[in-house]
Amino acid sequence: MALAELCEKLEETSKRNLMVSVVTAFLERLSPDEVEPAVSMILGRPFPRWSPRVLDVGWTTLTKIIRRLTKTNWKVFSQAFSETGDVGSAVKAVFEASKPYRQATLLEKPLTIMEVRRSFESIAEASGAGSREKRERLVEALLSAAEPLEAKYLVKILIGEMRTGFHEGLMELAVAKAFHVPLEDVQRACMMLGDVGEVAALLKTGGKEALSKVGFRVFRPVRLMMAQTAENVEEALREHGGETAFEYKFDGARIQIHKDGAAVRIFSRRLTDVTQSLPEIVELVQREVKAEKAILEGEVIAVDADGKPMAFQHLMRRFKRVRGIEETRRRIPVRLFLFDVLYLNGQSLIHEPYVERRRILSETSGEIPLANQLVTGDAQAAEQFLKMALDEGHEGLMAKRLDGDYTPGIRGKKWLKIKPVLEPLDLVIVAAEYGYGRRHNWLSDYYLAARDAETGRFLVVGKTFKGLTDEEIIEMTRRLKELAVKEEHRRVIVTPKIVVEVLYNEIQKSPKYECGMALRFARISRIREDKTPEEADTIQKVREIYEKQFLKKGR
């Protein structure tokens, strides 16, 4: 109950200092074995970030369990959700409205942090025949022992929707304060171990001295270094002092490869284990990387029969696969390009300059290709290199500062990405949905449509909640409500009147929409008050742009 009450306090305030203070005090009171589970749960995770365990409990399953437990009219949930836009708060309302749902013996035994962790472990370990039913029984047992406030936060953890505003950076600060160590030491340890909960547990048992011994651990994914955006090669050269290393930016999936002897594991950009989905990459690393222990970074791309890069969506089918891998492997072959090495045979390399890491990588990678590179201070040569990358079907370039170290978890200017933007589209909003959290009263998720020049119909090509300011969203909500013709739960269908300019990364094939296409990473760049719906771009133009992509990409 104490952890649920803490989360409620965090949700009720936006004052960062107050958030850090209450979490600091809470951490100080915990026993050593409670620290990591508590930190994970406060951040909305059932397990440490590096853990491969998953609960595999969906909202449909939870709905069935909650209805069975509470025997409450589901209108209570719908009303609470409409008022708050928060699933956990709606669950709490249902539990409060229900008749007693726990046995009298359970009322005398409050849930503890360790009991909840053990329940999560049991749920994650359920496998084999009857595993779904077993998971349901375990979730029902857990929720039946919960008070309404506890149920609220258990459900938020189960479905990954904590949304208290207390993020990882604030937790690092709370851990530093709770255990009286410099924030920089906590951040460094988090970079190495990949999980602030484990760092907190180390401090609880071993103090500052325990942190001084922390280093990389193979099979514990490290937070990725991130890049900022540069408008062009000239800006990248200016930022990096007149000379930099340009590399191809692939339209693929960034991966982190961990090797210890013959054992290889692969982690995605989100640090989830995707080893099973990429068996040929495992085999390639086992065959070519001769180092005993290593942590490498690279990019995986899907390719067609001619070796041309295929659209990102094809690659994602590989990452989501855990069954039928051999058939998928045959249909969607992949290639690996390495571009960095973080750790080699017991030595951290993140403080080495980029050029040195690249040299070590080239000596370590065997026959695995490295990302195409051009080190230059000549803008014209860089432009030609960019054109080569685009002509070969890639996204653009990365620019990497020659003397730059590797800063896990940091988005800085040591790495810059240069991606020419596709021609924006003028599209019409035909429907909108209410948002979540602080946006739950606003229509902030927009359905974007192009006009069919032949029929005059508007065909949806994507959705976005990105691009508008709060003030613009509030005004857009007012305008869309005036244009509303139908409401379907949280979605409002509107007369197609408002035109917006939309940026996107590419156009994908998609069975989701009638037109068969969807914009990837759509975001509104401005509201086109100067355009009527009849002046919006046509579905024929969208299809033309889609087809042009395959002049340089494989299908």
**Among all residues, which ones are annotated catalytic?**
249
- Report how far apart, in Å, the C-alpha atoms of 523 and of each of 32, 444, 467, 548 are: 45, 12, 5, 21
Q: Helix (H) and strand (E) counts for the chain?
A: 21, 19
What separation in angstroms does the CA of 251 have from each of 254, 282, 310, 415, 476? 9, 21, 8, 17, 34
Q: Of 154, 293, 164, which is closest to residue 220 (Cα–Cα)?
A: 293
Residue type, 33: D
Whole-Å CA distances, 140 to 57, 60, 116, 324: 11, 13, 12, 32
> Can you tell me the distance from the alpha carbon of 549 to that of 555, in angstroms, rounded to the nearest whole number?
9
Compute the CA torsion angle 323, 326, 327, 333 (nearest 10 deg). 120
| 153-184 CB burial, b ≥16 within 10 A, e <16 | bbbbbbbeebbbbbeeebbbbbbbbbbebeee
**CB-side exposure of 78: number of CA atoms within 13 Å?**
7
The crossing angle, in degrees rounded to 10, of helices 148-159 and 59-70 is 160
CA distances from 192 to 163, 222, 321, 406 (A): 26, 6, 29, 12
Candidates 543, 524, 546, 541; CA nearest to 428 is 524
Q: Are strands 517-520 and 506-509 parallel, antiparallel or unpaired?
A: antiparallel
Distance, CA of 6 to CA of 26 (rounded, Å): 8
Q: Let me know: does 324 contact 330? Beta carbons within 8 Å.
A: no
Q: How far apart are CA 539 and CA 519, in angstroms?
A: 12
Task: For residue 294, list its beta bridge partners.
Answer: 259, 344
Sign of CA dihedral 277, 280, 281, 282: positive
d(CA 399, CA 236): 6
What are 435's two structure tokens?
Answer: 């948002």
Q: Cα 443 vs. chain centroid, distance in angstroms?
A: 23
The answer to whether 231 and 67 have CB atoms below 8 angstroms apart is: no
Around Cβ 492, how many Cβ atoms within 10 Å?
A: 20
Closest by Cα among 461, 435, 432 to 448: 461
One DSSP character per residue, 192-261 reads HHS-HHHHHHHHHHHHHHHHHT----TTSPPPPPEEEE-SSHHHHHHHTTT-EEEEEE-SSEEEEEEEET
CA distances 177 to 8, 20, 41, 169, Å, are 21, 9, 19, 13
